[in-house]
Chain A
């Protein structure tokens, strides 16, 4: 995404407060406090069973929370559910089955229930996503069914778009087209919340992202905000034999391993203190690699 929205543009198109749905045995969603600004593209990241779909279903009013609240466009997700759904586009994670119906019929049905959908918009989306709506829905591949789902999500130009694993089954070209659609919607003022377990694509397409695990939101931030906590992996060869304890004592350094003249360690935050320490030790070779957000998140998840 080209630019992260500034704080002044955030007035909470989607706001949750202490939102909780407890399925028992630590499954569900617990005390979710989240605010997503108008026009923002927010990525919800987490492994399977983390609570992403539960969050989305709570926002859509498909299930009732045990406590807490959620508002979309300043309307309560439960009380004002119908009014909300007029302005929301929703792509479920599990695609519905529509036996014996053509894809065009499925779209017509859902467009009819919404009312006032411009057929030209549907045609345009079908063309961009390269899908023939004349085919029977059940004969379509998973990716093509996903395209039908995307058409019904975007066709009424919603103010809020909520999608559960939207790129699942799409080929790389279509994924690119999908992100264009998201960008265009965002530019037009729509707020987008999407879940994924592929951080790499969310990293590129979202203004902010939240990491969820076991029903708890672990971290939220923009790409830049999350970068400050990014980790560098440093490998070096030095003439002066260092000791691991001294290396570990440097600010931000962890997981230090020393074998003869070779050392490797992780650095959280600024790499300056380590560079100052290395400068005094006759460095022969130095290799520093910033871990991707995905690697950082995986490290954090594994550490839990």
Chain B
């Protein structure tokens, strides 16, 4: 947030015509992209820009995170058999919900306060100090988070698994976010915004001139959270322990289909078994990447319009490179796949760590499979998964492009596919080393920190005019913009070295460490 404050203040200073001109240039594109972020008000001020650019997405992110935590708080604990002992002590179900909610509220308050301090620092760095506005804004963000938590808690009482509840809650929150952003275009259905926590939180955008603390909006968010928690408590009190409120009576099970020889052969390779086990998730990843890339492509006319006027905002080489503005935008849309791949690899890292902690590695290594082979096959599965995600993104790009009558270049798409797979292999190599070295959950955190640092490396190097090689050899810079052109040989070598050396180092570490948690 602090860095964003600095960057935006710098943009205001550098932009020809100053903040007002910058705001004018962005507003039109913002309108086109309102499905992702909205409202966009007073973009000529640091508070207005920060709120539009960062706070809106932060609100959604924190709400989804909180919803996932809400699903784990009771149902997740039940599935891990961690709640039975607490309930057996005589603690009531209501007390469990109350205590966990209070605990989560305290955590959310601390997080919101930290965010407010960061935002206040950003505002001060940009020359628009506003501590009160920062605090009020983050109260809105935190309350949105609490509504998300309450929604997750309630949904988890109604669906069979905590994992399923996390998915359903996230979809509901995302839908409410998008509907709130676009309600003016929805006719009578626009009334759905009143059910969206983001609608009320928008009244607390105190960093935007003209807004401040809104008691009614605050109360609305508190009431929403309380009602949802109350309903969750009622459902928890009425349902069977370990089952959703409404669950199908188990039908008489048919005898299990025995594992045939052909299916056994399929699972003779751990990579195939891993892909098969994660097939539903992989479809979701590919679908998500496709939707994201498709949406980006569908926004092409609005953004091209802005870039035509303000070429300064074009990424990469800009029009000076001799590449058409449309091609640059298509490349920019394609670059989205890099972010999805990073997220996918981090999730796979978490899965590898869990495999060791939950005894699956031990079970597999009790068969004639070596640690080295398992590490290699995991990487094969990961790269195959990356290929599927990339394919999903490319399909999304093609569909999005068709929607706006844009013709994509086959060669560009081929470069994008090849570079994405190489990028995935490089990340896989890094992830394999991190998992082999850390062995526990800290490895996932380390991987996330590494990726964030690498992502920021390029931006910060540019912003603070660090040496060119610092920017050039970040992971994301190495990915480049393959739709437009293949990244330089140095970057390709970097990715290949990371993939190969990472795998070799991971194998060496794995062979020397215990195969049990």
Contact = CB atoms under 8 A, between A and B. Distances in A.
B515 A63 contact: yes
Contact of B367 (A97, A108, A110, A133): A110
Interface stretch (B45-53, B232-240, B263-271, B446-454): B263-271
A197 B368 CA distance: 29
Interface residues of A, number: 44
B162 to A, nearest CB: 11
B263 A108 contact: yes
Interface in B260-284: 260-261, 263-268, 270, 273, 277
B261 A119 contact: yes
Interface in A84-130: 85-86, 88, 90, 92, 94-98, 100-104, 107-115, 117, 119, 122-123, 126
B362 A96 contact: yes
B257 A112 contact: no
Nearest to B264: A112
Contacts of B266: 112
A81 interface: yes
A135 interface: yes
Contact of B259 (A64, A83, A86, A107): A107
B253 A115 contact: no
Given A92-B366, A104-B256, A104-B257, A113 B268 contact: yes
Given A57-B516, A97-B359, A98-B360, A113 B256 contact: no
A62 B266 CA distance: 25
A209 to B, nearest CB: 24
Interface in B154-169: 163
A81 B363 CA distance: 14
B368 A113 contact: yes
Contact of A112 (B267, B365, B370, B512): B267
Contacts of A103: 256
A107 B256 CA distance: 11
A172 interface: no
Given A86-B368, A113-B367, A119 B259 contact: yes
Interface in A26-72: 57, 60-64
A235 interface: no
Given A62-B365, A62-B515, A104 B268 contact: no
B165 to A, nearest CB: 14
A82 B368 contact: yes
A60 B368 CA distance: 11
A24 interface: no
A63 B360 contact: no
Contacts of A112: 259, 263-268, 273
Contacts of B163: 100
A61 B361 CA distance: 13
A248 B253 CA distance: 67
Given A86-B368, A104-B257, A104-B259, A62 B264 contact: no
Contacts of A81: 370
B258 interface: yes
Interface string B75-119: 000010000000000000000000000000000000000000000
B20 interface: no
Nearest to A103: B256
A114 B268 CA distance: 7
21 contacts: A57-B516, A62-B514, A85-B368, A85-B369, A86-B368, A90-B366, A92-B359, A92-B362, A96-B363, A98-B360, A100-B163, A108-B263, A109-B267, A110-B364, A112-B273, A113-B267, A114-B367, A114-B368, A117-B259, A134-B253, A134-B254
Lowest 9 A-B CB distances belong to which pairs? Answer: A112-B267, A96-B359, A108-B259, A134-B256, A133-B256, A113-B367, A90-B366, A97-B358, A104-B256
Interface of A: 57, 60-64, 81-83, 85-86, 88, 90, 92, 94-98, 100-104, 107-115, 117, 119, 122-123, 126, 132-135, 138, 152
Given A85-B367, A115-B264, 20 more contacts: A60-B365, A63-B515, A63-B516, A64-B512, A82-B368, A92-B362, A95-B359, A96-B358, A96-B359, A98-B360, A104-B256, A110-B364, A113-B270, A113-B364, A113-B368, A117-B259, A132-B255, A133-B256, A135-B253, A135-B256
